[in-house]
Amino acid sequence: MEHKFEEKLQLLPGNELELRLGKVVAAMTQADIDGVLVSDNANLFYLTGRIFCGYIYVGRDSMIRYFLRRPSVLTGADVHRIRKPEDMATLLADLVNADTNVGFTVDDTPYSTIQRLCKAIGSPRIANGSAVLRAARSVKTPMEVKLIVDSGMRLSDIYRRLPHLYREGMTDIELQIEIERVLRLHGCLGKFPVSGPELEIFMGNVLTGDNADAPSPYDFAMGGAGLGPSLPVGANGTVIRPGKPVMVDMNANFDGYLADSTRCYITGDCPEEARRANELSRRICEAIADAARPGMEARKMYELALSMVVEAGMTDFFMGHRSHAGFVGHGIGITVNELPVLAPRSRDVFAAGNVIAVEPKFVLPGIGAVGIENSYEIMAEGPARRLTDAPEDISSLD
């Protein structure tokens, strides 16, 4: 009676799969790629709605084949059970040969795995399939936007109630752990998906006081020394003091799709500089949301932010103080660092359906980090739609 355990591998509704395949094939055509062999978890999830151990081949004609290693209970049309990559050879022999241009997920899969996969399917020319999927994924379907909206609402609800988690004398990490617990109890999966193996983060960042100015190896907007040299980012055990803002930027992965939002909190009186910088951050977010339109270059948004920062005389504190992050926003979705990137040298151009996080942040020496982050959807017409709606002022913890 093994069949009673069977489960469909493909979890996406037919029209949703069609939408996603359409985007992938469009990007393949533009890159002159004949097929894409997907081997990383994020892209397997994008194309099926689940993570499994195996591979997916997508042809330029939208044909899709699934090669399943584990778990063996998954079934469906075009699902081929394999024990090892080499078992794909005969199953792809009609599609792949030494003259085919196959996109592999070269930015997301180790060198040795790609080499083996390439040989296993007949040694085609290796093209950049990661770039194809990155381009496709940068424009969300309505279903994807809905999942991000849902994650954003859940995170915003927790940000609203966050002052209830604070007790006098807490350290940054103690407050973070209570937020982690509430996030988890509300369904957060914990896993914080990031593209690329270098960026590591646990459940997000809670930064207060001087720790906000500790440079980290990771290319996140804000640093922090972290709890140790094997994960040097975020909270470091600093006691939360009156007049020192607490910046909270936590993981909102509730369903495989991330929203991204930051809010600041304070106990005691809020220094005027902190309030002003937070207000500037809020105004930059608003200006970017007002200006962002399909067809616009993403780097223009960085320039817009920078011009407001320069006018306010806040350049030295923008996106860090001792070290500066070189962007003001980024795409979000299955991972926290997708396209488009809002950075000076970005070549990305906005399209309707992009979902971005905008995070103009400031580090004020002797005070700490302030600023907000919201997630937005780029609309076909009109301003970008805000997806994260907790109050934007620095909230009192008292």
Q: Footprint of a copy of itself on this chain (CB under 8 A)?
A: 5, 11, 40-41, 45, 49-54, 69-73, 104, 106-115, 126, 128, 130, 173-174, 177-178, 180-181, 184-185, 187, 189-191, 196-198, 200, 202-203, 215-219, 223, 227-232, 253, 255-256, 322-323, 334
Complex with a copy of itself: residue 197 or 313, whichever CB lies closer: 197
Complex with a copy of itself: residue 100 or 395, whichever CB lies closer: 100
**Do 335 and 42 meet the contact criterion of CB atoms below 8 Å apart?**
yes
CB of 357 to a copy of itself, least distance (A): 19
CA atoms within 13 A on the CB side of 358: 30
CB of 88 to a copy of itself, least distance (A): 16
Complex with a copy of itself: residue 216 or 261, whichever CB lies closer: 216
Complex with a copy of itself: residue 182 or 349, whichever CB lies closer: 182
CA–CA distance from 326 to each of 92, 141, 221, 397 (Å)? 43, 28, 8, 31
CB of 189 to a copy of itself, least distance (A): 5
Complex with a copy of itself: residue 62 or 115, whichever CB lies closer: 115
CB of 153 to a copy of itself, least distance (A): 17
CB of 244 to a copy of itself, least distance (A): 19
Token couple for 26: 């469009």
Complex with a copy of itself: residue 91 or 177, whichever CB lies closer: 177
Buried residues in 251-289 as b, exposed as e (16+ CB within 10 A): bbbbebbbbbbbbbbbbeebbeebbebbbbbbebbebbb
CA–CA distance from 193 to each of 200, 245, 273, 337, 380 (Å)? 9, 27, 34, 9, 28
What is the Cα–Cα distance from 205 to 223, expressed in whole angstroms?
9
Task: Name every residue whose Cβ is closer than 8 Å to that of residue 62 and which is 6 or more positions away in sequence.
Answer: 18, 21, 22, 25
Complex with a copy of itself: residue 30 or 323, whichever CB lies closer: 323
What is the Cα–Cα distance from 307 to 297, expressed in whole angstroms?
16
What is the Cα–Cα distance from 150 to 147, expressed in whole angstroms?
5
CB of 122 to a copy of itself, least distance (A): 17
Complex with a copy of itself: residue 184 or 290, whichever CB lies closer: 184
* 204 closest CA partner among 229, 185, 181: 181
Token couple for 169: 């004398």
What is the Cα–Cα distance from 160 to 162, expressed in whole angstroms?
6
**Do 364 and 370 meet the contact criterion of CB atoms below 8 Å apart?**
yes
CB of 325 to a copy of itself, least distance (A): 10
CB of 295 to a copy of itself, least distance (A): 29
